[in-house]
Amino acid sequence: MSTNRRRVFAILFVVLTLTATMPVGAVSGGSPGSTHSATTNGDVSVDHPPVLLKARAVQTVGDLSASSRQLESAKRLALDRLNGSLAAHRDPVRVEDFRAIVNDSIAVAALSQFERTDQADGARNATALILAANNRTAHRIVRDGRRALKRVEGNVSHGAE
């Protein structure tokens, strides 16, 4: 079994395990301690790892009903790009390749085709999950960068001597 395939199965195992143990509730939104609640998706909190948020988005997109060839094509494109993005995760938060975020943006653009249909709410829910996942990933990348900078800060030359 290839390394990529093992990684995908490991991520799926984590997703399935987390999904099975999650309580059903509203998606939380706003700042920590906030009482604001977003109804982005009925059973996944934005506090969950990005890989789980994206997996839930894949499920949500898969549940969309496409009433035309154009919508079916958009749904297929979104699913293909989201699955590619999921496969690019090296852990529940970080991605191996930033093309994962490009894949997500293409998926979101494809989902916009559902805007004036009876499936718009589902497409919006999937989009919100994707955006929340990428927001968490971006915050982690910035935090990792700051930590790395602090480790090497004393070794960096600040000009010619």
With respect to residue 83, please indicate whether it lies within any of the assigned structural domains: yes
DSSP 119: T
103 is in which domain, residue-wise? 3-20+46-150
Tokens 């999950």 sit on residue = 129
With respect to residue 161, please indicate whether it lies within any of the assigned structural domains: no
With respect to residue 55, please indicate whether it lies within any of the assigned structural domains: yes
Question: What pLDDT shows up at residue 41?
Answer: 46
Question: What pLDDT shows up at residue 97?
Answer: 87
Look at the chain and report how many structural domains it folds into. 1
With respect to residue 113, please indicate whether it lies within any of the assigned structural domains: yes
* pLDDT of 102 above 90: yes
Question: What pLDDT shows up at residue 111?
Answer: 97
How does residue 47 score in pLDDT terms, banded at 50, 70 and 90? confident
With respect to residue 72, please indicate whether it lies within any of the assigned structural domains: yes
Q: What is the dihedral of CA 87, 91, 94, 100, to 10 degrees?
A: 0
Tokens 């995908």 sit on residue = 8
Closest CA to 86 of 69, 61, 122, 121: 61
pTM of the entire structure? 0.69
With respect to residue 145, please indicate whether it lies within any of the assigned structural domains: yes
With respect to residue 101, please indicate whether it lies within any of the assigned structural domains: yes
* SS (HEC) of 26-83: CEECCCCCCCCEECCCCCCCCCCCHHHHHHHHHHHHHCCCCCCHHHHHHHHHHHHHHH
